[in-house]
Amino acid sequence: MVLSPRVQDPVRALWAPEAAVEFGMPASCELAAPAVDAPAVTPFPASSSVGSDMSASAASDSSAAALPASSADSAAGAAEAAKAEILDKRRRHVGPNLALFFQDEPLHIVEGRGAELFDAQGTPYLDCINNVSHVGHCHPRVAAAVAAQLTRLNTNSRYLHAGLGDYAAELAALLPAPLEVVYMTVSGSEANDLAWRVAAAVARRADPGDARPLHVACVDHAYHGHTSFCIEISPYKFKGPGGGGRLAHVHVLPCPDVYRGQNLDGRAAARAAIATAEASGGRLAAFFSESILSCGGQVILPEGYLAGLYAEMRAAGAVCVADEVQCGFGRVGRAFWAFELQGVVPDIVTFGKPCGNGFPMAGLVTTRAVADGFASGGMEFFATFGGCTAAPACGLAVLDVIREERLQQNAAAVGAHCLARLRALQAQHPSHIGDVRGEGLMVGIEVVTDRDPAPALAAALKLHAKRAHRVLLSTEGPYSSVLKIKPPMCFSIAQADQMVAALADGLAALEASPTHKAALLERNAAEVAAVRERHARLG
């Protein structure tokens, strides 16, 4: 892959083509077939505002800029050469459909601290994407806890070790009754996969005489993981590029769209899914959903949405699974778990990403009754690394840091500040910022043109933020038109302001160049039409 030749002057050449690739979309480099409708960013020149204080300071604070010109040039040349070698090796030996952030100009990040990432030349980037490094990149306390355990002992869970029970008890204390029994896995996908096995066991045990096949329900545009089962319940994948479409035993509830006032009744959505399952000869065993729909575009569910929905699902015999892999562990600020915002108690809660701050650990928590139902089949549950000795050591350290650094409270305060600043920006650009929504540090900005999704514009803003301000954002939602902000929980007010300034500058650059704005808007329509066609075909 050749790095974009347009990036000659990082301040002025801000809007070069880039196929927008976020996780879940194949990279359109030489190695992977381009996604049919992978959006590209239309070239766009910088406005005068782009040479603002922010970009000027961002440009001058790299360590390379501090060196004498010749040393800086050779350092930059060496860094580019190293990057090209890494890319080449990746291209030769790593699976071709592994996506890169900013694939036409990927970053070679070598270090992380707090909410910042540093490339090989020491250039800092503000990380508004990473909700895995929950308490901050490479938090020394978490790293030390894992290192200490790895140096002493790390085995599977078949020996007695205090850590596993301690961690399970701490998690249970953070959850409402009757959620109290923990199973540990390594990834969020594995946790959701296991949740399905648990739900299926419970359904079969509840009515052994009912021979109908077990069906499952999920919400449109959701992503629940990469195992075969998880792909089946992830419309984000099965309706996405390369997706195989919905399978007959999967029933998809429409995604609520509060901004446009559509699909707001959870109870009605549940009833429809139950009726379809029964009409096709099946019975619903489980309903999976996040409580803020992250890949769906940071969708905040209408008040009471899950309460009515859960009631209907349970009446039909289905177990309700809350996927807290993205939104758990205090991210939503007002609560430790996102489902609490809906006033419901799920039957199973799956968790992952943030719990290990980058160490691979995940799991589920359920009720004693459900766990006993699962165990009653007699099959042992075993995962070599799930609950290995190092995992609880890590998880306990993460929980300590969340508490001691008051990160949930920080998420609430900084999140509220982000929303207020972004809403002020929305008031200045009402035709392109359709909606600003969020809870805590889970924030979404719906980029639109006349209320229609504007994926090309969102991609351009994302690229501008990276190039001119070194602010890393991602896009999500059915049309990749929602800018998603989910930084490490130590994100500060100053960093929030830096992120908002990057977006404000991008929008100013857009307004200053009507020709390029028109080109972007034209692309939006084509991209949205292509996605709609694919969804209709695979849904």
Ligand X SMILES: Cc1ncc(COP(=O)(O)O)c(C=O)c1O
Which residues of the shown chain bind ligand X in the complex (CB under 6 A)? 187-189, 192, 223-226, 290, 294, 323, 325-326, 352-353, 362
CB of 342 to ligand X, least distance (A): 16
H/E run at residue 75: helix 69-93
Comparison of 186 and 316: residue with beta carbon closer to ligand X: 186
* CA distance linking residue 120 with residue 223, whole number of Å: 32
Name the residue nearer to ligand X (CB basis): 295 or 468: 295
Find the shortest distance in angstroms from Cβ 37 to ligand X: 21
189 versus 495: smaller Cβ distance to ligand X: 189
Among 60, 51, 52, residue whose Cα is nearest residue 124: 60
Cβ proximity of 235 and 247 under 8 Å: no
φ, ψ dihedrals at 395, nearest 5°: -60, -40
Smallest gap from Cβ 381 to ligand X, in A, equals: 18
CB of 288 to ligand X, least distance (A): 9
Q: Which residues contact 86 (CB under 8 A, 6 or more apart)?
A: 108
Q: Please give the sequence-ordered ranges of beta strands (E in DSSP) within 132-237, or none if there are none.
A: 179-185, 214-219
Closest to ligand X by CB, 94 vs 493, is: 94
> Which C-beta is closer to ligand X: that of 15 or that of 288?
288
Specify the residue, 224 or 432, whose C-beta has the smaller distance to ligand X. 224
Taking alpha carbons only, the member of 294, 298, 331, 324 closest to residue 491 is 331
Q: How far apart are CA 485 and CA 468, in angstroms?
A: 18
- Shortest distance in whole angstroms from residue 6 CB to ligand X: 31
Residues in the chain: 539
Closer to ligand X at the Cβ: 137 or 516?
A: 137
State the first-to-last Cα distance of the chain, in angstroms, to the nearest integer: 34
Let me know if 403 is exposed, middle or buried by CB neighbors in 10 A (0-12, 13-18, 19+).
exposed
Minimum CB distance to ligand X smaller for 187 or for 408? 187
- Sign for the CA dihedral angle at 176, 180, 181, 182 comes to positive
Min. distance of Cβ 222 from ligand X in angstroms?
7
Closest approach, Cβ 199 to ligand X, in A, equals 16
User: C-beta of 338: minimal distance to ligand X in Å?
Assistant: 10
Output 327 or 503, the one with its CB closest to ligand X. Answer: 327
Q: How far is the CB of 131 from ligand X (least distance, A)?
A: 8
Residue nearest to ligand X (CB): 188
SS3 content of the chain, % helix, strand, coil (to 5): 45, 15, 40
Q: Pick between residue 26 and residue 225 the one whose CB is nearest to ligand X.
A: 225
In order, the DSSP letters of 119-155 are ETT--EEEESS-SSSTT-BT-HHHHHHHHHHHHH---
Contacts of 328 (CB under 8 A, 6+ apart): 336, 337, 338, 349, 351, 354, 355
Residues 270 and 259: their CA atoms lie apart, in Å, by 21
d(CA 106, CA 395): 31
Q: Is residue 102 within 8 Å of residue 31, measured between CB atoms? A: no
CB of 187 to ligand X, least distance (A): 3
